[in-house]
A and B are shown apart, each in its own frame.
Chain A
Amino acid sequence: MMMEFLSLFTDAERRSGPPRFLCVIPVVFLSLAPLASGTQPAAATLPRASDGKPDLSGIWQVLNTADWNIQDHQAQPGVPAGQGVVEGNEIPYQPWAVAKRKENFENRAVADPLAKCHLPGVPRITYTPLPFQIFQAPKQTTVLYEYAHANRVIYTNGSKHPDGRIDWWLGDSRGHWEGDTLVVDLVDFNDQTWFDRAGNFHSDELHVVERYTLIDRDHIQYEATIEDAKVFTRPWKMGMVLYRRKEKKIQLLEFECYGFEYEKYYP
C-alpha cells in the first residue's frame, strides 16, 4: 500500500525535486481520509469489466461549483457559493504567482480561456459542469466530453508519454491500475488553461496525476494531484465525487460554444 503511494510520486520528484517527505506524508494522510470516513469501496460489489478491473463506463458529472472557483467562495451574481475542492483550501503559489492569480481574477470575465471556448485542460474538463462519458477497454479508455466535443484517450497499454515537449490543451494521458484505482499521469500541457473561472492557473510545466476510484456503482472518488515547479512551492491536490447520470434517456448532447457567434450565418 505504502509503495503504491510512493511510486505515484516517483516521477513527480524527478521533475521538481522537492524532498521526498514533503510529498509523501501529506498524500498518505489524504489518501486514507476517505477510508476513515466510511467510504471504503465495497470491492466485491463493484461493477467489473471483462478484465476484472472496476468498470468506470458510463455518463458522469460533478455536483459542485469547482468550475467557478476551486477554493472556498461565497455567492456572487451568477456564481453559486461553494466549498472548495482543494485539500486544505490553500494553493501554494510562489510569490510572483500570487500576483498573477490576482490579475487573472480581476480580468476573469474575458481572460478565462473558457470565455473563448478554448479546451479547458485537465482536471478542469472533469468539473466543467457538463456530463462526460467514459468508455473503458483493457488497453485504452476513451473519455468523451459534452464540452465542445473534447475527447481524450487514456492509454493503459504500458506505453509511455511521447518523446519531446508537446503543447497540448488536454495533455497526454497514460494510465495504469493500482489495485482498483485507475491512475492517470498527464504531462505535455500548454500554459493557456486555468483551473477555474477565478483565475487559478499553471504553466506548461504542469504535471497532473488523476485517480479514479469507484466508491460504489454510481460514484467515483476523483482526485487530481497538481505539480508545477514554475508556479507552486509544492504539489497540491483536489478531490471530488463524480456522480453517475441515471436518467433513463441520458446521453451526451453538444455544447459547441465556439459556434454560437457564427450560427446566425448558417441558418
Chain B
Amino acid sequence: MRIRFRAVLPVLPSMVLIMALIPAPASAQGTPRAAAAWTPAHASDGQPDVQGFWEAEIGGTYSLVNPRRGGGRLEELLREKKGLPPIVKPSRIVDPPDGKVPYLPWAAAKQNDLLDHIDTPIKPEYVDPQARCLPDGVIRATFWSPFQIQQFPGYVVIVYEQNHPYRIIPLDGRPHIAESIKLWMGDSRGHWEGNTLVVDVTSNNSKARLDNEGDFASDAVHIVERYTFTDANTFLYEATLEDPSVYTKPWKISARMVRAHRKEPDYELWEDACHEGEHNVEIQTSPNEQRSDEKR
C-alpha cells in the first residue's frame, strides 16, 4: 500500500510538467542514439555497469497508445467534466507507424470487449489481473514502478518495486526451458551487444494484460527486449512482440528510461506485499462499496 501511493501520487502534479519539459521524446520514437558515445565502467565479468534504480520517463501502464497511469485517468475524467480537451501522449508503439497493436480481427474484438468493461467488470474475466496483484509480465512490469537492475557475474537481475516480482536473466548462453513450462514473468536469456542488453523471453503465460485497456498477447508470444544504455542516466527500452496467433505482424514498443530516486542516494528496495491484504478487487466489484482513495 505504501509504495502504491508513493508511485501514483507524485505523478499527478508532475504530469503537466513532464508534458511541457519533454517534447515527444524523439529518441524514444526512432532508432537508438549512438550508443558508442558512452563508455561505461565494466564489472569483473565484462558487463557494462548499469546497476541502480530506473524508471520510465513517462510511466504508467494504463494504456500503450496513450501512456499514463491509472491516476492520470482520474485527472482525465476531471478534465472531461470541465470540458477541457484530453491529454494525449505519443504511443509507446513505434512499429507499426500508426501506433496501434496490429491485432487479428478476433483479437481486436476481444480487446475492444475488455476495453468496454474497463469500469464495469461484470465478470471476473474483466478484472485486470494487476488488480489482483498477479505479476505483470515482463513488459508491463517495466512501466508500472521503478525497478532495480542488479548485476552479478553471469547474470542481470531485475527487481521491480511494486508487487515484488523479479527476473533472473542468465548471460551464459544456456538454452531456454521447455516452452511447455509457462511463467508469469517468462523465461529470459540475455547477452550484451556493446552497451545494449538483449533479452530473449519465451514461456510467457501471458495471463497478465499489457495494460488496463485490455491489450494482450497469447502464451505463444515471443518477446525480444533491447536495453540500450546511451549515457550514465538514460537507456532506451525496446521490445518486439511476435505472436502470429494474435497479431498480423510483429510489433514494437519503445520508451526512454531514466534513473529513479536520483535525489535519494541511500534509497533501498523495501518490501511491497501486494496480495497480502489486497482489497482492490472487492472494492471494484462490490456494488455497495464507496470507492475512495483512502480505502485503496
Contact = CB atoms under 8 A, between A and B. Distances in A.
Given A50-B44, A256-B134, A168 B183 contact: no
A256 B186 CA distance: 13
A133 B167 CA distance: 12
Nearest to B266: A159
Contacts of A57: 152-153
Nearest to A261: B132
Interface size class on chain B is 35 or more
Interface in B161-191: 164-166, 168, 170, 174, 177, 181, 183-185
Contacts of A50: 44
A259 B183 contact: no
Interface stretch (A78-86, A144-152, A211-219, A230-238): A144-152
Nearest to A254: B183
Interface stretch (B23-31, B225-233, B271-279, B287-295): B271-279
B133 interface: yes
A151 B268 CA distance: 13
Given A256-B184, A259-B134, A262-B124, A169 B273 contact: yes
B129 A262 contact: yes
A153 B276 contact: no
Interface string A155-185: 1000100000000111000000000000000
Interface in B119-162: 124-125, 127, 129, 132-135, 150, 152-153, 155, 157, 159
Interface in A241-267: 249, 251-254, 256, 258-259, 262-263, 265-267
Given A144-B157, A151-B159, A258 B164 contact: no
B269 interface: yes
Interface size class on chain A is 35 or more
B134 A117 contact: no
Interface in A113-159: 117-119, 133, 135-137, 142, 144, 148-153, 155, 159
A259 B152 CA distance: 30
Contacts, number: 87
Q: What is the predominant secondary structure among interface residues of chain B facing chain A?
A: loop
Q: Which 3 A-B pairs have the closest CB atoms?
A: A266-B207, A258-B275, A265-B124
29 contacts: A57-B152, A117-B275, A118-B276, A133-B168, A135-B150, A142-B150, A148-B275, A149-B135, A149-B164, A149-B165, A150-B164, A152-B271, A159-B266, A159-B268, A169-B273, A169-B276, A192-B276, A249-B177, A251-B170, A252-B168, A253-B183, A254-B184, A256-B184, A258-B132, A259-B132, A262-B124, A262-B132, A265-B127, A267-B207
